[in-house]
Amino acid sequence: MPYFRRSGGRDHIFVFPSGAGAHLFRSWATYINRSIILTPEGDRTDKKDTSAFNTWKDIIIPGNVDDGMTKTGATVFQPLPLSKRKYLANYLGRAQKKVGRLKLIELAKQYPDKLECPELQFSGPNKLGRVEYFQHLGNSKFCLAPRGESSWTLRFYESFFVECVPVILSDQVELPFQNVIDYTEISIKWPSTSIGPELLDYLASIPDEVIEQIIGRGRQVRCLWVYAPDSEPCSTMRALMWELQRKVRQFHLSAETFWLHNGSVVNRNLVEFAKWKPPMPLP
């Protein structure tokens, strides 16, 4: 792997698109700790001693929203006017014994007219269908996104397409394309330690015209959550290329590369890079 060795992997990119992030590769810290990692997951400290995500080199990618909601034209579900929405807020997900989610379920029992929190089922007669899921999600002004097994949540991205305001209740969450997007303009982040009646009171105090403005701004950037073809002027891939472009270096350095007066790059044995032969020991 001479090209990997040349920069210690700094100019290599690895994709870990699941919620487990780079921890799927148990030896990531040994072999690819300097490489750029693309992942939706910025924090796994609930299950690991450390997070694989490094804000200075890695890039958060958005979760994959249902194609029926992201396509151009008629979608699976059409957003409702705010005046026709039944609830102030909702949380659609399983409890998974997570503190924040359990608090929301208890809060919904106290305020059933304001907060909808159905326990989602993977199978059986009570399982929500694809369309039903988005109908429930879009029947509130605010969509709550608490932490689950990890800090990221697909509901954050889905909320932009059903046009409810996402309320992040996950303190360690990392969001994509922060060099491009001002999240204070399109979402709310509330402390997960303050999930209670005060949250509902705060959300109820926000006028509908302000909610419409937040939704409108979200409508302008949600194309960045769509894994669309290169022909599209706005897509996840385009934003990803913006982020990668910011990381391009003129010069690549590692502990195992050296250079001489004539500009040639050599290894520890003073062999020129062009003449390196695999297999090479990993850095």
**pLDDT 10s digits, 201-234:** 999 999 999 999 999 999 999 999 999 988 889 9
Q: What CATH architecture is 67-225? A: 3-Layer(aba) Sandwich (3.40)
First to last CA, the chain: 10
Q: What is the DSSP string of the chain?
A: -HHHHHTTTTT-EEE--STTGGGGSTTHHHHSTTSEEEES-S--TTTSSS-S--TTT-EE------HHHHSSSS-SSPPPPGGG-SEEEE--B--TT-HHHHHHHHHHHH-TTTEE--B--SSSTTPPPHHHHHHHHTTEEEEEEE--SSS--HHHHHHHHHT-EEEEE-TT---S-TTT--GGGT-EE--GGG-SHHHHHHHHTS-HHHHHHHHHHHHHHGGGG----TTSSS-HHHHHHHHHHHT--SS---TT-EE-TTS-EE-TT--BGGG--S-----
Cα–Cα distance, 267 to 270 (Å, whole number): 5
pLDDT, one tens digit per residue, over 18-36 is 888 898 898 999 999 999 9
Summarize pLDDT for 143-153 with one digit per residue, the tens: 999 998 888 99
Is the pTM above the cut of 0.75? Answer: yes
Name the pairing type of β-strands 258-259 and 265-266.
Answer: antiparallel
Please tell me the distance from the alpha carbon of residue 44 to that of residue 240, in angstroms, as a whole number: 22
Please name which of 157, 154, 161 lies closest in space to residue 68, comparing C-alpha atoms: 161
227 to 66, 90, 182, 216: CA distances (angstroms)? 11, 26, 21, 21
Q: Are 67 and 159 in contact (CB under 8 A)?
A: no
Spell out the per-residue pLDDT of the chain, length 283, in tens.
778 888 889 889 999 988 888 988 989 999 999 999 999 988 766 666 778 899 899 999 999 999 999 988 889 999 999 999 999 999 998 888 889 999 999 999 999 999 999 877 777 777 888 899 999 999 999 999 999 888 899 999 999 999 999 999 999 999 999 988 999 999 999 999 999 999 999 999 999 999 999 999 999 999 999 999 888 899 999 999 999 998 887 777 778 889 999 988 888 889 888 787 766 555 4
Segments making up each domain of the chain, as ranges: 2-63+233-275, 67-225
